[in-house]
Amino acid sequence: MTKIGIILGSTRPVRNGEQVAAWVHDLASQRADAEFDVIDLREQALPHLDEPKPAMWGVYEHEHTKAWSARIATFDGFIVVTPEYNGTAPGALIDAFDFLFAEWADKPVALVSYGVLGGARAAEQLRLLCGTLQMAVVGPQVLLSLATDFENQAAFRPTERSTAALNTLLDKTIEWSRALAPVRGKALAAA
């Protein structure tokens, strides 16, 4: 069964991301073609990047990195739920990507962003980062506006348009996860 991780990218004490990640998970869990699991970065206990060697080498010194590696390696693809803070993705989310390399490669990643402008700038920066990590960035994305998808910029009330966009994103993420499985298999055999 295809396994997709839903990464909750905000670690702030008060965050809209929990509502968004729950919505993604609830809608995704109605499907029978994949399994979905929420990965809350606040629960991962990752410090600022502290590995002495580049992630590309795959040599991890710290137990938190080894645990993160083991967690991420189990997934066939990802959906990232990210806010836009100061025109970019949260530092904790960038750090979480920076800790690893091979565990991300040859897997699709889809983006669900939120913010004043739908989190578009955070999503664009994540597209570049994920491409560098040799991830396949899924074309359809969900941009959630604080003005139209949130009541008083706090209570999440997704529009029908946002729900339709999420369904398309889920379809493509699962398709790409399956399509890239043979590529991931070759990489593992070569390692």
Written in H, E and C, the secondary structure of the chain is CCEEEEEECCCCCCCCHHHHHHHHHHHHCCCCCCEEEEEEHHHCCCCCCCCCCCHHHCCCCCHHHHHHHHHHHCCCEEEEEEECECCECCHHHHHHHHCCCCCCCCCEEEEEEEECCCCHHHHHHHHHHHHHCCCEECCCCEEEECCCCEECCCEECCCHHHHHHHHHHHHHHHHHHHHCHHHHHHHHHHC
Average pLDDT, rounded, for the chain = 94
Q: Is the pLDDT of residue 189 over 80?
A: no
Domain ranges of the chain: 3-190
What mean pLDDT is predicted for residues 91-118?
A: 96
pTM, 2 dp: 0.95
What mean pLDDT is predicted for residues 113-126?
A: 96
Fold of 3-190: Rossmann fold (3.40.50)
